[in-house]
Amino acid sequence: MKKISIGLLPVLIALSTAAQKTGRIPVTTRVNIQADSARGRDIVDGEWVAVGINRPYSIQKDATRSFNGKPSYRFELKGEDNSLEGYEEGSTKGRAELSYCYATAADYNGLPQDTYTTEQVLKMVYDRGKGQCKQGSKWTYTFSVYVPSTLAAEVNTIFAQWHGMPSRTLVQDPSGKIMQLTPEQFVQLSDSVVFAKDQGHEKIKSTDKNGKETYKAGRKNGWKIEQGGYPPLAFGFSNNMFYIKANSDSKWMTDKTDRTLANPAKNGTMEPVRSEYKTSTITYKNAFEAFPKDVWVTFTVGIDWAIYSGAGNKMEQPGKLDVVMAYQKGKKNVSAHIVNNETIAIGRNDDSGYYFKFGIYRTGSSTVPVVYNLAGYRQVQR
């Protein structure tokens, strides 16, 4: 029998008491999936790790709202829970999500001893783990959402998204030259450069109040790093609408100043918004009030991911998107084919591909409280 650490007993007792009272168990750990591996206690139901703000209410296993006989996942952000800087200067966003992609210590078994520490510097630890879907691959994804009728129509949130996996060894020097460094070269560069988002800064040595040597970011020095951009596919609520948005970026080194992004309030369905390298398409939208409330809504999503040319900065082959939305209305089963196998620009020029997250990703400085449940995820390669 395993022994339980005495230090963990108060936590376990508190969680047990909370579960008995509410039927909900908080997910209490968070993982920086780019820079750290997940420990056993971090992994939820053998499939997920939590990312984002850590409050007792932000992510919970919810036995009061089961799905197929199992607890679902309840997500909540309150008005004050925006903890991240937004896309636009001065804006904010909030996040509480479960990521299907992460690595564990076992993924590094048999590799050279310094591989993990190197990939921590590169922030590419999750590349070693599970859940990635490569460029050009074909997948069917399924998940379900339960939106309560109490959710305000003014929310601005993404509840499911497929995220890119940028290669942080792709850099641009102060002269504008773009280079794919080896991991060793990048580690050497990081000895003198601190990257904040996609910008390089001088690395300044300092000492904290305890006398420990640390480093901080100084002036920008002209270096840039591939940091990624908009998610290739997102399901969300905004502008009193439910929408599905597909994005594509064919530029090898993402241009963060290019804000090409379709808006469900301004752009029509299947009318792409384009710049030289980016394409953004609202593939479906409908009034928020028409979205089924107080019932499980299941989405079956077929994606053929587009293919890109790397340094050629081109999309060599577009992708396809198919979405079926199913739910029960009264005693009647409803199934709507809301995106019908459309040929579309969907993906990013990232070697590693994409991974799935669901939960709350509240954007646009919105502070409208958000609560809903998600469950039933699976992904199958075709």
Helix (H), strand (E) at residue 205: strand 199-207
pLDDT of residue 364: 86
51/121 Cα distance (integer angstroms) = 19
pLDDT of residue 10: 54
Residue type, 19: A
297/146 Cα distance (integer angstroms) = 6
Of 68, 33, 64, nearest to 50 (Cα)? Answer: 33
- For 177, residues 6+ apart whose C-beta sits below 8 A from its C-beta are none
Share of the chain above pLDDT 70, in %: 94
CATH number of 170-225: 3.10.540.20
- For 6, residues 6+ apart whose C-beta sits below 8 A from its C-beta are none
Cβ-based neighbour number of residue 147 at 10 Å = 22
pLDDT of residue 382: 95
2-47 pLDDT tens trace: 344 455 455 445 555 656 577 999 999 999 999 999 999 999 999 9
- For 113, residues 6+ apart whose C-beta sits below 8 A from its C-beta are none
Task: Using alpha carbons, list the distances in angstroms from residue 325 to 67, 251, 318, 373, 381.
Answer: 16, 32, 23, 16, 20
pLDDT of residue 87: 65
What are phi and psi for residue 233, nearest 5 degrees? -150, 135
Stretch among 37-46, 89-98, 183-192 having the lowest mean pLDDT: 89-98
Domain positions in the chain: 19-168+227-381, 170-225
334/297 Cα distance (integer angstroms) = 10
67-78 pLDDT tens trace: 999 999 999 999
pLDDT of residue 3: 45
152/31 Cα distance (integer angstroms) = 30
Angle subtended at Cα 311 by Cα 309 and Cα 316, rounded to the nearest 5 degrees: 15
Residue 93 has pLDDT above 90, yes or no: no
237-270 pLDDT tens trace: 999 999 999 999 999 999 999 999 999 999 999 9
CATH number of 19-168+227-381: 2.60.120.200
Average pLDDT over residues 261-290: 98
358/341 Cα distance (integer angstroms) = 23
Cβ-based neighbour number of residue 318 at 10 Å = 18
Residue 96 has pLDDT above 80, yes or no: yes
103/28 Cα distance (integer angstroms) = 19
Residue 52 has pLDDT above 60, yes or no: yes
259/163 Cα distance (integer angstroms) = 17
